[in-house]
């Protein structure tokens, strides 16, 4: 490896170029800060663009911010931090106007107001949408504005480590995917906005790039991760592939049926039916399948029927969903029901941050110069279960808000100048060197397949102590086998074998956190369902899990109190 590594200097380095990263970058650059955004994809390939259904805000006359707050808190199974939720919901209407004035083209009502559709767990229709391509519309808008303003983007660069010493993050180490040339990006402030970790599961709706790299990078430095056991399974992934069929399909009136022709949600959520929160609907579908009422060639799916909506509504409001079902199932939702099943979709846990996006070093202390926003972070507006259309709101609002927080800290001289030397890149260089030189017998694809299969089976929608202990053993086995890998491509040009090996190492790391958190949390809450502890236990577990990994990979856990507020925990029924 070349030891003459260039060192680039910025006020702020942002890793990840989705909605959260671009929102922060635009705010900082417009206020005179030198900003670099580093991304392993082109920004418009960020997973934000895959969000389909909408973005929440209490805009209509018969809706209220307090109602949006209550729905979010109840949806979170009371694990959401109410101060963060109040801030996000209060600022939601302003956030919609902010992105709209930048050029986001929302679908409109006849009177010119922004159209809003109902989503699961919501008391009112409050999901603003752009057909069924809302995320892409927002991503294109915020990226083009950040690019027009002159933000510097390093696309197709892979960030493999942070520079963390003396309680401060001094920047990142990254390499150019095109030629494997390393560089150090030193900065007074570093922000992660790298997305979620759904790729740990076999059936998932996540892009191939969603490998949760940031979580493992943070954990390897002894910094904590929060609430990793809470992984949302979206009810409506296309059977077999897990490709997302947006909640917009149910919001527009889609009905779920089992093999006996029953509209089975009457059994599980008689008041909300298909518009119950995602965790409730996912478990209901899974139960129907496990009890033998599944449909399809493998009897592992159920039907969602949209035929009653008619061609005009489907083509106006759900055209992309129709295309996906035609392409991947060969089924036309205009003419026939399509097959869906739960798919790993969203990560409620992540890098613990406070309401201003500052990363925690412990339950009571923070890392200087380190911030996070979007799905990789856990400010805990979602708690144990995210409501549909709150994820785009979180990314857009907290991306901008964290950018403003960084700006304040820079202007107030709270962030010291980074101290960086070549030796700070040693860890990242050694990781790449080790993988390139490894001549073992294990294949990356095989280990990854076994990881995803076992996580789905033993740490998925339903969990028990027995299944989680079995998964712990499996993770230990896979981790040992990972030390004996071999990649075929030893070159430096677009070496995707190398990148996938590094990513797999990250996936193995944070999977331990998911399983450990699920074992310790002996209750059922939101997306975390323990069959051996089917009830919520507020006395013991109305708390966040804050987990640390030591140098040997052993995980220890502490608990952090949930920020409560005006809404007291109560039974969660729909």
Active site residues: 278
**Which positions ≥6 away from 200 have C-beta within 8 Å?**
212, 231, 344, 451, 452, 455, 507, 510, 511, 514
Cα–Cα distance, 470 to 456 (Å, whole number)? 12
| Alpha-carbon span 133 to 317, nearest angstrom | 9
Q: Return left, alpha or beta for 343; rule: phi > 0 is left, psi -120 to 50 is alpha, else beta.
A: beta
SS3 of 482-504: the string is HCCEECCCCCCCCCHHHHHHHHH
Give me the DSSP letters along 373-438.
Answer: -STTEE--SSTTSPPTTHHHHHHHHHHHHHHHHHHHHHHTT-SPPP---GGGGHHHHHHHHHHHH-
**Structure token pair of residue 73:** 């808190």
Q: Can you tell me the distance from the alpha carbon of 389 to that of 559, in angstroms, rounded to the nearest whole number? A: 28
Measure Cα distances from 468 to 426, 457, 462, 527, 552 in Å.
36, 10, 10, 15, 20
Burial 101-128 (b: 16+ CB within 10 A, else e): eeebebbeeeeeebbbbbbbbbebbbbb
Beta strands at 35-39 and 7-15: parallel, antiparallel or unpaired: parallel
Q: What is the dihedral of CA 103, 104, 108, 114, to 10 degrees?
A: -100
Residue 274 φ then ψ, to 5°? -65, -15
DSSP string, 189-241: EEEE-----GGGSSSB---TT---HHHHHHHTTT--EE-TT-EEEEEEEETTT
* Residues 224 and 323 sit within 8 Å (Cβ to Cβ): no
Pairing relationship of beta strands 7-15 and 181-192 according to DSSP bridges: parallel
Which residues partner with 547 through β-bridges?
A: 225, 557
- What's the CA gap between 240 and 339, in Å, rounded? 9
- Other CB atoms closer than 10 Å to residue 196's CB: what's the count? 28
- Please, is 430 exposed, middle or buried when counting C-beta atoms within 10 Å of its C-beta (0-12, 13-18, 19+)? exposed
Nearest by Cα to 401 from 351, 355, 352, 347: 355
Largest alpha-carbon pair distance within the chain? 68
Distance CA 37, CA 374 (A): 15
């Amino acid at each position: 490896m070349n030891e003459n590594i260039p060192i680039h200097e910025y006020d702020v380095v942002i890793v990840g170029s989705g909605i959260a990263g671009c929102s922060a970058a635009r705010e900082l650059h417009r206020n005179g800060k030198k900003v670099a955004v580093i991304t392993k994809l082109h920004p418009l390939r960020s997973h934000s663009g895959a969000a389909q259904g909408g973005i929440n805000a209490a805009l209509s006359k018969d809706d209220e911010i307090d109602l949006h707050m209550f729905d979010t808190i109840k949806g979170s199974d009371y694990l959401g931090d109410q101060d963060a939720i109040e801030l996000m919901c209060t600022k939601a209407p302003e956030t919609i106007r902010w992105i709209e004035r930048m050029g986001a083209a929302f679908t409109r009502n006849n009177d010119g107001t922004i159209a809003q559709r109902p989503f699961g767990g919501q008391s009112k229709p409050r999901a603003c949408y752009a057909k069924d391509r809302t995320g892409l519309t927002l991503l294109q808008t915020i990226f083009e504005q950040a690019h027009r303003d002159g933000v510097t983007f390093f696309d197709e660069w892979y960030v493999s480590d942070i520079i963390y010493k003396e309680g401060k993050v001094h920047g990142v180490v990254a390499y150019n995917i095109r030629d494997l040339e390393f560089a150090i990006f030193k900065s007074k402030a570093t922000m992660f906005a790298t997305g979620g970790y759904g790729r740990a599961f076999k059936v998932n709706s996540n892009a191939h790039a969603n490998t949760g790299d940031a979580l493992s990078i943070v954990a390897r430095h002894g910094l904590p991760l929060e609430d990793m056991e809470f992984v949302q399974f979206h009810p409506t992934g296309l059977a077999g592939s897990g490709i997302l069929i947006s909640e917009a399909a149910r919001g527009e009136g889609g009905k779920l049926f089992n093999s006996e022709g029953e509209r089975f949600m009457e059994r599980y959520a008689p008041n909300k039916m298909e518009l119950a929160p995602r965790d409730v609907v996912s478990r209901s579908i899974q139960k129907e399948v496990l009890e033998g009422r599944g449909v399809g060639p493998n009897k592992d799916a159920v039907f969602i029927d949209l035929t009653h909506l008619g061609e005009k509504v489907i083509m106006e409001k759900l055209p992309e969903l129709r295309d996906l079902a035609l392409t991947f199932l060969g089924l036309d939702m205009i003419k026939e029901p399509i097959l869906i099943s739960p798919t790993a979709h969203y990560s409620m846990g992540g890098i613990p941050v406070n309401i201003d996006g500052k990363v925690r070093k412990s339950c009571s202390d923070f890392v200087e110069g380190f911030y996070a926003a979007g799905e990789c972070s856990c400010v805990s507006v979602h708690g144990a279960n995210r409501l549909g259309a709150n994820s785009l709101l979180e990314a857009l609002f907290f991306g901008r808000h964290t950018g403003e927080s960084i700006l304040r800290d820079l202007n107030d001289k709270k962030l010291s100048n980074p101290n960086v030397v070549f030796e700070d890149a040693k860890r990242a260089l050694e990781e790449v060197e080790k993988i390139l030189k490894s001549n073992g017998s294990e294949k990356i694809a095989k280990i990854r397949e076994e990881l995803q299969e076992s996580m789905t089976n033993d740490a998925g929608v339903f969990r028990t102590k027995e299944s989680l202990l079995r998964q712990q053993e499996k993770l230990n086995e896979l981790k040992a086998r990972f030390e004996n890998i071999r990649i075929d491509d030893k070159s430096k040009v677009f070496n995707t074998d190398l990148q996938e090996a590094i990513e797999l190492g990250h996936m193995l790391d944070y999977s331990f956190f998911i399983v450990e958190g699920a074992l310790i949390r002996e209750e059922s809450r939101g997306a975390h369902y323990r069959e051996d502890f089917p009830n919520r236990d507020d006395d013991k577990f109305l708390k966040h899990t804050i987990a640390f990994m030591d140098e040997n990979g052993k995980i220890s856990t502490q608990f952090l109190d949930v920020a409560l507020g005006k809404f007291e925990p109560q039974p969660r029924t729909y």
